[in-house]
Structure 1
Amino acid sequence: MKKVLIAVDYNPHSEIVVQQGYELAKTMDAQICLVHVLAEVHYYGMNYPAFMGYEGYNEMQVDIEISSQLRKVAEDFLKTAADHLNDPAVTTHLAEGNTASALLDYAEEWQADLIVMGTHSHSVLEKVLMGTTASHVLEKTKVPVYMVPVKD
């Protein structure tokens, strides 16, 4: 295994995932890439027409400034996470879209040999209704996945 992709999100437990993924990758002398997925950026800046009596939105367009700010925050987050490892060989990638799909797409594009990600504690109802990113990745992956359990 020569390429390890480590998925990070804004959960403070990501530090555990990154550290364990990094240590594993170093034992294999593998390239390391930290990846973060910015979920459906256009939803954050969407201006909707009035609906259900609510007049808060008035035009149907994407606010480019908000999208740019969200990307900047995510890029800063990734850079800080990579700098925390104090290893200039670690690269980063910011993806956008559905988290599981974007992770899998980039894993294929980058030709990752292993995906490292955390499994967050979710309620049973939440898992039944929505599933989890981890379960979606496991269902569709073409490469091994190393799951790091992180719970509150």
Structure 2
Amino acid sequence: MKKVLIALDYNPSAQKIAETGYGLAKAMNARTVLLHVISDPTYYSSLNYSPIMGFDSFNSVDTIQSDTAEKLKKAAQNFLDKSKEYLGDERIETVVSKGDFGDTILETATKLNADLIVMGTHSRRGLEKILVGSVAENVLHHSLIPLFIIPTKTLKGNQ
């Protein structure tokens, strides 16, 4: 394994996913790439953010009002930079992409020749799963490379 792609969202579980994925990459002496996918801007206005990895809010980017793609991209890059700083490795690459979460994770993994995708699952159920879908499930069903899925349902804030 030469490259591990770690997909992160703004959920507080991102810290566990980043730490676990980075530890796995380090153990295999593989390069680490942190990915954040920007999707529909309205998605961001309804999330409940918690301080993670030194990223405490969108205030550093003039409080996102879901009005511009550039603000979303800047906030996402700031989030990945803080995550990289938290992990303490300047060699970590960061990528911000736009599109459908699952499809973009798969496309980025292919484009970067990743050997492994690390991501979490929020274990959505019932109506929420029908309406929102499961990104992890989508990636699992369509990935041609190994996938390491970290369950996050028991983490604080995801119960």
Q: Percent identity?
A: 42
Which string of whole-angstrom CA distances, capped at 9 and with x for unpartnered residues, describes residues 34-84 of structure 1?
00000045999xxxxxxxxxxxxxxxxxxxx72211111111111111111
1:81 aligns to 2:101 (yes or no): no
In the other structure, the counterpart of 1:113 is 115
CA distance in 1, matches of 2:122, 2:43: 24
Q: TM-score, normalised by structure 2?
A: 0.78
The equivalences for 1:3-152 within 5 A come to 3-40=3-40, 66-151=68-153, 152=158
In the other structure, the counterpart of 2:54 is none
Q: TM-score, normalised by structure 1?
A: 0.81
CA distance in 1, matches of 2:111, 2:117: 13
CA distance in 2, matches of 1:66, 1:43: 13
The one-letter code of the counterpart of 1:27 is A
Q: 8 Å contact 1:41–1:96 — kept in the other structure? A: no
Structure label with greater radius of gyration: 1
Gaps of 5+ in 1: 45-64
Gaps of 5+ in 2: 45-66
- Alignment coverage as a number of residue pairs: 132
CA deviation after TM superposition for structure 1 residue 25, in Å: 0.6
Range moving further from structure 2, 109-118 or 122-131: 122-131
CA distance in 2, matches of 1:150, 1:43: 20
Q: 8 Å contact 1:41–1:97 — kept in the other structure? A: no
